[in-house]
Amino acid sequence: MADKMWAGRFSKEVDETVNAFNSSIAFDGRMYRHDIQGSIAHAKMLGKCGIITENDSMQIIDGLKEILADLESGELEFDMTAEDIHMFIEAELTKRLGSVGKRLHTSRSRNDQVALDVRLYLRDEIEEIKALVLKLCKVLCEMAKKHTETVMPGYTHLQRAQPVTFAHHLMAYVQMLLRDYTRLEDTAKRMNECPLGSCALAGTTYKIDRHMTSKDLGFDRPMENSLDGVSDRDSCVELACAISLIMTHLSRFSEEVIMWCSWEFKFIELDDAYATGSSIMPQKKNPDVTELIRGKTGRVNGNLMTLLSMLKGLPLAYNKDMQEDKEAIFDSVDNVKLCLKTFIPMTETMKVNADRMRAAAAGGFINATDCADYLVKHGMPFRDAYKITGTLVAECIDRNLTLETLPIEDYKKLSDLFGDDIYDAISLETCVRERKSFGGPAPDCVKQQIETAESRIKELEK
Ligand code: ARG
């Protein structure tokens, strides 16, 4: 078992079960790069401020760099009995440098160290997630360009409601994802304050330079209050929430994909590489990927609850409960990346069945509003027009007709405002083409939406 740093205070070794229970290296080991990055900045500052000698500072920095290289090459492996990544790296440094290594932790605590590491780690992860979100936006815009004329039913209550296009539908997701992107940006911005130098909770009597380490590590500024510096986990909660929303959007999209590839819809077909078969039913092609994304959204939402519940009763400052933050936020980060990485190529390769979409749009009276609007445009108040159209729909259902096939005489029986041009007014193409209010599904409007989104994406990529 790794020697305990605090052995001086204790007369017994820690119980093995407790040691395993307490240890976080199994999940915080992944932050080794960031831990070393933080320690190097700290050692540099200690040397510059004359708290340790420049020579010790240099030795420590070199030692840390060697440890990093050895971990990267696999030459050095984690000691799984170490309490956490921080203890492990410090112990390894001391093993290599002797008493010089023992100077690294001057005017620092694991409390500010772990707060720092998590921020450094998540800052990098956020960049990766942002890039994936933008990639998905680009894929959806490309698809949308091909489908500005692909009419499909728009739904409310999962009942066919009014005609839209597949492009319009896809671009709705682009809007959600662009909001997700800005949420990640906001989170990263608020997170970008440096807790290092808060020490255990009450700062330090050494003349440290927190501005120097903050700048060196790419933060906007040091955190203002040392108690807050070690107690704050808002950034984990915010990121977990931003990720939950991304997952919610992917999950809603997934739910639609699942429906769309059913025999009942057949709006799309997944590429064989992104579907699975059944062990017993030879005919099956299952949308497992999307179901798994929908399922994983539950656990990611659970992580958000874990973090909020873990924090709600904690007095200031550090409490060991906070060690529980990492598994939760890491799991959200891992899963959203995994889901995006699978969802993107799955979407990119799916086959769109425009005929099936068009056929579905032709049933279900989704042009009924347009029929009422026809009367309104000829002077009738909307409520009266609505009632007459309702009667027409009932008539069609009775006689197994559609508004397109109902004879003009039947129209005229209910209102003499109807003329032969009603058929053109309620044709699906007209219904879509004329819905050109800002943000609407008319091909020209959606082309505009795509253009705006693409220039925004270009801007964000800079
Ligand atoms: N492994 C700990 C964590 O993740 C590091 C901080 C430990 N601090 C302490 N005072 N025990 O929270």
In tens, the pLDDT along 2-14 reads 767 777 788 888 8
Write down the pTM of the prediction. Answer: 0.94
Atom of ligand 1 nearest to the CA of 83: 1
392-398 average pLDDT score: 96
The best mutation among 84, 122, 316, 321 to test binding of ligand 1, ranked by most ligand atoms within 8 Å of the C-beta, falls on 84
Pocket of ligand 1 (CB under 6 A): 24, 28, 84, 110-111, 114, 318, 320, 322-323
Q: For residue 175, give Cα distances in angstroms to 7, 166, 436, 462.
A: 56, 15, 18, 19
Give the per-residue pLDDT at 278. 79
In a 3-state reduction of DSSP, which class is residue 3?
A: coil
**373-377: long-range pairs with CB below 8 Å, 24+:** 373/425, 374/417, 374/418, 374/422, 374/425, 374/426, 375/415, 375/417, 375/418
Q: Is the dihedral of CA 424, 426, 431, 437 positive or negative?
A: positive
Other beta carbons less than 10 A from residue 221's beta carbon:
12
What 3-state class would DSSP assign to 83? Answer: coil
Taking alpha carbons only, the member of 171, 175, 174, 184 closest to residue 130 is 184
Give pLDDT, residue 303: 98
Pocket-testing residue among 6, 109, 323, ligand 1, by greatest number of atoms within 8 A of Cβ: 323
pLDDT band at 283 (very low <50, low <70, confident <90, very high): confident
Confidence of residue 141 (pLDDT cuts 50, 70, 90): very high
The reported pLDDT for the residue numbered 12 is: 84
Q: Mean pLDDT across the chain, nearest whole number?
A: 96
What crossing angle do the helices spanning 443-461 and 166-191 adopt, rounded to 10°?
A: 30
End-to-end CA gap in the chain: 49
Residue 157 annotated to the active site: yes
Tell me whether residue 278 is one of the annotated catalytic residues. Answer: yes
Q: Rounded to whole angstroms, how far apart are CA atoms 137 and 170?
A: 9
Buried b (16+ CB within 10 A) or exposed e, 131-145: ebbbbbbbbbbebbe
pLDDT of residue 1: 66
Which residue of the set 157, 235, 249, 309 is catalytic? 157
Inform me whether the pLDDT recorded for 430 exceeds 70: yes
Closest CA to 240 of 349, 136, 365, 324: 324
Which of 16-20, 34-38, 184-188, 234-238 is predicted with the least confidence, judged by mean pLDDT?
16-20
